[in-house]
Structure 1
């Protein structure tokens, strides 16, 4: 995956370089739009494939995201990046990957995803009717090497989904789920950082 990460970094940093050349002419809102168009869109494209990589392997992508955040806020290199990302309400790269996977899982569960993806996850059906149904998924066996172990979609999704609070798992509206999920991941990350 190193080659893939290097290619993403190249294209995203080239986008940042182009924005940097005209940054003095732009206000913060326009800069943020351009950064999303030329940089964060590249960081997010197919990022679910990077699931399971260590933070060290994802560090080059995090460096690009940090540079983009600094460009938007016009902050200096010595300023602590956590507070800048917090103010922008941006998730760090490893959380963005989790966010993207859980969004895909929601679509699979609610029939909004292609059938080939939906077949990879299995809902846990209780033996008797329960008053509250915190929807969970059946974890897959990671011994099968054909499915690339714990990083495979069918293995990673149940683990990530079942770790969500029951209130979020029970949401059926896509927009509401996205909002609650981002807030949950944001709070989970930044409560540890502050």
Structure 2
């Protein structure tokens, strides 16, 4: 108990120092933070977790929250993403309802633009956070894309008709493939110095490969259970998901000479995986 309390105190001091450094940098650069709009989320534990009102920022005590919005994403304590998925689904159906009322007055091109801008973009926004979510949550997102929703609105496919041919015709990858696509794009960038360093540091090549796209193909080492410390999220961490997806790619994709080539090959390969009969 004492050890846990000490860890919380150390974390508070570290975060306090970080906040002070951020505030000082912003003041030096003519910017200003609003302490009243700053929120704290302790991931993986109780709402308070021993923090109390010990964390101060600009003279304001920051109380821990059970959920916080961050760049349009609603995060909860255990990163279940349930609230986020619910909000995305509700907003998407609202926009689909509005677009449906305009259908008699717009051509296919205009309708497609509206659906992509107002609905599909919301499904794709930060969708790497949906990796490894329970099937019930993934189904809610998939319903927006197909059954009674976006694809049916555009094509007029009836409720009980199979939706896969319609998605293939529209060249819309299903939700799960769209998520994997984003993860693999991040992986390629990280391996080729096109992405943030902290992601590259989470990817470990196997002993028989080299991290250069100009030589042999790169294969990544999967994490052990001990290395993936958090049991609840170990199957959702980038360092655990990226190697599994990357190693399943065909060799020609892993050795693609440029990001554009990789993107085209990846979408073609995923399209064949998602719609094998097309």
TM-score, normalisation: structure 2: 0.64
**1:51 counterpart residue number:** 131
Q: Aligned equivalents of 1:182 and 1:127: distance in 2?
A: 25
Number of aligned positions between the proteins: 191
- Give the alignment of 1:77-116 within 5 angstroms: 77-116=159-198
When the two chains are superposed, the root-mean-square deviation of aligned CA atoms in Å is 2.0
Structure 1 residues 28-60: Cα deviation after superposition (integer angstroms, max 9, x where no partner) = 111111111000100011111111124332011
Stretches (4+) displaced over 6 A: none
**1:140 counterpart residue number:** 223
Equivalent pair of 2:209/2:218 in contact (CA under 8 Å): no
**Compared CA separation, residues 76 and 185, structure 1 to 2 (3 A):** same
Please state which structure has a larger fraction of its residues in helix: 1
Q: Aligned equivalents of 2:169 and 2:162: distance in 1?
A: 12
**1:153 counterpart residue number:** 238
* 2:108 aligned with 1:28: yes
**2:208 counterpart residue number:** 126
Equivalent pair of 1:31/1:72 in contact (CA under 8 Å): yes
* Unaligned runs of at least 5 residues, structure 2: 1-80
Equivalent pair of 2:209/2:216 in contact (CA under 8 Å): no
Q: Aligned equivalents of 1:56 and 1:183: distance in 2?
A: 28
Q: Which has the larger radius of gyration?
A: 2
Which stretch shows the higher mean deviation, 59-68 or 140-149? Answer: 140-149
Matched position secondary structure for 1:146: coil
